[in-house]
């Protein structure tokens, strides 16, 4: 018995000190020297490329944080623009390492597509955009209206359910690409356009000749928790993707910012901050990463709150409030498990 106990003790000590198996996806990323990140074809605030090919948005920032955490360089990202119909196949086939494309986390997708959702980067809900001149004030007054919608999304199904439940007989006009759907709406082909409320704000700001000519109706007809996903079957990569997001959220909770992360790492004696910055426990070793993996991520894009404010917050063209996306101790839903 004594030998058995000693054997367990030795094994436990070894496991506690040894780096974990990195996983095939991380090995592949290190070999390629970049993270292949599936993003939207163009949705302001979430993922959009400018005329120089520079990508920005809250989904893009997550890709950059991941690259910084695993490769030490936020620029080591290969952005792969994907339509709604293409996104899951790209992840399943290995074309991309992570999908960060305003995708709703649902049971069906989680259980049947061979993917794992990492967490939630934006709590959203589906709404309707209509011309102000139509004088429509409520979605429930749109009986028999035509609605432009993108196919292959939860949006189309939500609208059908909402129409049936409220006996509205809404008539969907379906397009594979969101650009085609919005183009049809702004040309007057449909009485309304529907997608997530954040997407409505983005489209209105980007594509309307005069954004003030269009209004988002007050009803939100669904829950849309949007977040990144990885391919199932690589638990090590899943853990890295998940804890990078949690680390960004927890960094905001403890006041670690892009501007002060180096100072925090060097001077803070707060036990939580010391763990996040790798000054005490080496959480990076448990993930197959460097000890300062979260310092690199925060230095690259800031904490979650900074990502939100820079891309979609009240001071941006989208002008979206924090609302449900605030920290749990400020009335929101963003709550990260502790890094320890």
User: In the chain, which residues fall in CATH 3.40.190.10?
Assistant: 24-121+227-330, 125-224
Average pLDDT score over residue span 45-64: 96
**pLDDT score for 4:** 47
Q: Is the pLDDT of residue 3 over 70?
A: no
Which of the residue ranges 3-17, 173-187, 237-251 has the most confident prediction, judged by mean pLDDT?
237-251
Average pLDDT of every residue of the chain:
92
pLDDT category at 153 given cuts 50, 70, 90 is confident
The string of pLDDT tens digits covering residues 77-86 is 999 999 988 9
* Per-residue pLDDT at 17: 45
- Say what the pTM is: 0.86
Any idea which fold 24-121+227-330 has? D-Maltodextrin-Binding Protein; domain 2 (3.40.190)
Phi and psi at 35, nearest 5°, equal: -100, 125
Contact 116, 236 (CB under 8 A): no
Q: What pLDDT, on the 0 to 100 scale, is given for residue 311?
A: 97
Residue 128 vs residue 11, higher pLDDT? 128
**Residue 20 confidence (pLDDT):** 52
pLDDT tens digits along 301-312: 999 999 999 999
Name the percent of the chain lying above pLDDT 70.
94
Least confident of 12-21, 72-81, 233-242: 12-21
Tokens of 218: 């007050």
CATH superfamily of 125-224: Periplasmic binding protein-like II (3.40.190.10)
């Amino acid at each position: 018995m004594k030998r058995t106990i000693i054997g367990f003790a030795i094994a436990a000590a070894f496991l506690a000190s040894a780096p974990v198996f990195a996983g095939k996806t991380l090995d592949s990323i290190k070999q390629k020297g970049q993270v292949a990140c599936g993003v939207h074809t163009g949705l302001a605030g979430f993922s959009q490329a400018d005329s120089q090919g520079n990508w920005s948005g809250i989904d893009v920032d997550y890709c950059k944080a991941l690259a910084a955490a695993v490769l030490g360089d936020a620029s080591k990202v290969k952005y792969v623009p994907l339509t709604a119909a293409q996104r899951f196949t790209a992840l399943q086939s290995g074309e991309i390492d992570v999908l960060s494309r305003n995708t709703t986390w649902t049971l069906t997708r989680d259980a049947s597509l061979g993917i794992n959702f990492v967490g939630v980067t934006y709590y959203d809900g589906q709404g309707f955009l209509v011309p102000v001149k139509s004088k429509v004030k409520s979605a429930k007054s749109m009986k028999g209206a035509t609605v432009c919608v993108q196919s292959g999304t939860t949006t189309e199904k939500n609208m059908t359910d909402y129409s049936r439940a409220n006996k509205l007989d809404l008539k969907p006009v379906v397009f594979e690409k969101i650009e085609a759907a919005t183009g049809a709406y702004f040309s007057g082909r449909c009485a309304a356009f529907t997608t997530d409320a954040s997407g409505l704000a983005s489209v209105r700001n980007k594509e309307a000749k005069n954004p003030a000519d269009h209004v988002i109706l007050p009803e939100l007809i669904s829950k849309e928790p949007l977040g990144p996903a990885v391919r199932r079957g690589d638990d090590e990569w899943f853990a890295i993707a998940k804890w990078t997001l949690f680390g960004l959220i927890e960094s905001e909770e403890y006041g670690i910012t892009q501007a002060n992360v180096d100072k925090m790492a060097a001077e803070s004696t707060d036990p939580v901050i010391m763990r996040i910055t790798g000054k005490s426990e080496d959480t990076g070793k448990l993930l197959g990463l460097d000890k300062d993996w979260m310092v690199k991520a925060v230095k690259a894009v800031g904490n979650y709150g900074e990502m939100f404010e820079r891309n979609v917050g009240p001071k941006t063209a989208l002008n979206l409030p924090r609302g449900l996306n605030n920290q749990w101790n400020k009335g929101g839903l963003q709550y990260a498990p502790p890094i320890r």
